[in-house]
């Protein structure tokens, strides 16, 4: 089973600042890595797929990078609505695992 480790567990920033979230895989997942945003009481929402492609309707301030085992989600300038929990997810060999999540909170 591929394990995804996200860091940091919690990130405290202010609106307008840049956020950098990390996801590391225990073995290569090629580019089969996605990022999700989840707000309280809601289902996760797809932000980035295949490591670096923005999903439909996702603002350009969200970007993803990486391949193999190391991936990054960057939010260039935080808006108030961006404070939420973020999960990475891999889909290798039709089996899926999620990272444990990074909570992005207002400083």
56 makes contact with another protein (CB under 8 A): yes
Count of Cβ atoms closer than 10 Å to residue 15 Cβ: 13
- The two structure tokens encoding residue 90: 């891999």
43 makes contact with another protein (CB under 8 A): yes
Longest dimension (CA), the chain: 39
87 makes contact with another protein (CB under 8 A): yes
99 makes contact with another protein (CB under 8 A): yes
| Contact in structure between 48 and 56 (CB atoms under 8 Å) | no
26 or 77, CB closer to another protein?
A: 26
Kindly tell me which residue out of 50, 70, 79, 81 binds another protein, with binding defined by CB under 8 A.
50
SS3 content of the chain, % helix, strand, coil (to 5): 5, 55, 45
Distance of CA 94 to the CA centre of its chain: 20
Shortest distance, position 74 Cβ to another protein, whole Å: 19
92 makes contact with another protein (CB under 8 A): no
Helix/strand/coil for 80: helix
98 makes contact with another protein (CB under 8 A): yes
Residues of this chain that interact with another protein (CB under 8 A) are 1, 32, 34, 36, 38, 43-44, 46, 49-50, 53, 55-56, 87, 89, 91, 94-101
């Amino acid at each position: 089973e591929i394990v995804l480790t996200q860091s940091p567990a919690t990130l405290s920033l202010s609106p307008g600042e840049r956020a950098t979230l990390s996801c590391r895989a225990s073995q290569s997942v090629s580019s089969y890595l996605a990022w999700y945003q989840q707000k309280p009481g809601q289902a996760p929402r797809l932000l980035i797929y295949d490591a670096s492609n923005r999903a439909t309707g996702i603002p350009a301030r969200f970007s993803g990078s990486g391949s193999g085992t190391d991936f990054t989600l960057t939010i260039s300038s935080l808006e108030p609505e961006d404070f939420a929990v973020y999960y990475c997810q891999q889909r290798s060999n039709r089996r899926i695992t999620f990272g444990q999540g990074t909570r992005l909170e207002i400083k």
